[in-house]
Amino acid sequence: MTSAATTDRSQETGSRDAGHVDVLIVGAGISGIGSAHHLREKFPDRTFVILETQEAPGGTWWTHQFPGARSDSDLFTYGYRHKPWRGPSIAAGGAILEYLDEVIEEDDLAGHIRYRHRVTALDWSSAERRWTAQVVREDTGERLRYTTDFLWMCQGYYNHSDPYRPEWPGLDRFEGTVVHPQTWPDDLDHAGKRVLVIGSGATAATVVPALAKTAAHVTMLQRSPSYWFAAPTVHELATTLEPLDLPADWTHEILRRQYTLQLDWLAATGRDDPDQLHEFLLEGIRPLLPEGTDVDKHFVPRYRPWQQRIVFVPDGDFFAAMREGKASVVTDTITEFTEKGVQVSSGELIEADIVVTATGFNLSPFGDIPFRVDDEPVDFAKRVTWRGIMITGVPNMAYSFGYFRHSWTLRVDLVNDVIGRVFAHMAERGATTVVPELRPADADMPLRPWSDPENFNSGYVLRSQDRMFRQGDREPWLHMHEHDHERRSLPEADIEDGLTYR
């Protein structure tokens, strides 16, 4: 079915009509594939398409193919509720891609995914009660136009093609190779080389031990320390369960509950007794560090636990590389790059053949896609979230945004359940649109940043606050709850409260 009328913008671009679908999903990462599964399961008659810029599914796991790329939360909670994870708790990026491939096959999604299709603009027309998506094919340059009744944004939270790279003086003088983990060259040989990794987050913690296996030496240069947590790649409970030969879905559910408890404890202790968590985390890594390590300088952060993500170290491999003398940590600020390496404030020159800039992301609100509602550009910074799922004044649009402290996907499943309820409610009432609208009582509600810096203040979040949607001070206008709260509140969420159906 195609749209008889078209919006102004589609006429401007002269794009080819690619057809109409009931639901259009943007992004084929773990969120988009999960959303398609829910749609398939609950609304098998709805037509849908997934538009994806990259040439393959997996999102984050397709983009990040640097040596050692792996999850930093367990796959029993990072995997979907419906699909048992069968491997070790911490998984290599390749194993996560295989898991997603299996979901695509089991749900027969392949024919619905359009790769190398980048969505470049989204327009809602109230007269037509539908969205028009402008799309550019990355492979041919062709411009297409899809229309849809409902837009499901699963584009992730960061820019996949433009990672964050601070500007350092003298970088162009450096004679070695500079790489970012988001764009790792297949042919980069680090064996026998001196590698400098700039950064101290999950990516740095992952790439350092992987490179240290064959590099001459790997130095991790951090401006300031992070919290670290070392735990086994295989949970001891998984080892206990193994001889029982349980059905895979039992094991999945048992370990999912076990990890959820563990993460609940970490999140709640960070909130209620940060000093206790601080001690717990430091005492956990002290015995793993090489003798003589200046713990205060390199491992005591300047923020409360959980104000930024805790760096997870499976089997303590990062610390093993340190103990073996293959990796070391420098805590200092960069003065400049020279031909030979990086000069830091202490005066030390860290010589390197390869510099890895594990410096993080550029946050990308809604993929930085321009949205218009009835020809008016949508400024998300002036809009308010409905439960971290929809946005005020933007009809028939939902988004998937996971947790920072628990596994991302736990929230994706919960959000998909809410959207399923909204779809069913619309069908029951014969409504064709749903839109969040502030209630009269909310007219003077104070608006707050979507992420309270007191609660979570990673660099990529702070750098982009001014472009992100806002939250209020009461339900249903709140985002950034924890999983222990939302796994009770979202299934009970009143889908009439704050939503207008027409």
Binding footprint of ligand FAD on the chain (CB under 6 A): 26-32, 51-54, 59-60, 64, 69, 71-73, 78, 118-119, 154-156, 160, 202-203, 367, 369, 400, 402, 407-408
- The residues, ordered by sequence, that sit 6+ positions from 407 with a Cβ below 8 Å of its Cβ are 73, 74, 77, 78, 259, 263
**What's the start-to-end Cα distance of the chain, in Å?**
22
Strands 390-391 and 385-386: antiparallel
**In the complex with ligand FAD, which residue's Cβ is closer, 388 or 498?**
388
CB of 400 to ligand FAD, least distance (A): 6
**In the complex with ligand FAD, which residue's Cβ is closer, 341 or 367?**
367
**In the complex with ligand FAD, which residue's Cβ is closer, 27 or 301?**
27
CB of 307 to ligand FAD, least distance (A): 17
**In the complex with ligand FAD, which residue's Cβ is closer, 32 or 449?**
32
CB of 408 to ligand FAD, least distance (A): 3
CB of 498 to ligand FAD, least distance (A): 24
> Cβ distance 342 to 195 under 8 Å?
no
Please state, in angstroms and rounded to a whole number, the distance separating the CA atoms of residues 417 and 44: 15
Going from the C-alpha of 300 to that of each of 62, 107, 276, 293, 315, the distances in angstroms are 33, 46, 14, 12, 21
CB of 70 to ligand FAD, least distance (A): 8
Q: 158-189 in b/e burial notation, b at 16+ Cβ within 10 A?
A: bbbeebbeeebeebeebebbbbbbbebeeeee
CB of 4 to ligand FAD, least distance (A): 26
**In the complex with ligand FAD, which residue's Cβ is closer, 162 or 253?**
162
User: Amino acid identity, residue 98?
Assistant: E
**In the complex with ligand FAD, which residue's Cβ is closer, 170 or 459?**
459
DSSP symbols for 13-51:
HTPEEEEEEEEEEE--SHHHHHHHHHHHHH-TT--EEEE
Q: Is 377 left (phi over 0), alpha (psi -120 to 50) or beta?
A: beta
**In the complex with ligand FAD, which residue's Cβ is closer, 52 or 317?**
52
**In the complex with ligand FAD, which residue's Cβ is closer, 136 or 495?**
136
The angle subtended at Cα 307 by Cα 235 and Cα 58, nearest 5°, is 55
CB of 201 to ligand FAD, least distance (A): 9
Please state, in angstroms and rounded to a whole number, the distance separating the CA atoms of residues 53 and 137: 8
**In the complex with ligand FAD, which residue's Cβ is closer, 71 or 458?**
71
CB of 384 to ligand FAD, least distance (A): 21
SS3 content of the chain, % helix, strand, coil (to 5): 35, 25, 45
> Cβ distance 134 to 13 under 8 Å?
yes
Strands 130-137 and 143-153: antiparallel
**In the complex with ligand FAD, which residue's Cβ is closer, 72 or 107?**
72
CB of 369 to ligand FAD, least distance (A): 5
CB of 372 to ligand FAD, least distance (A): 15
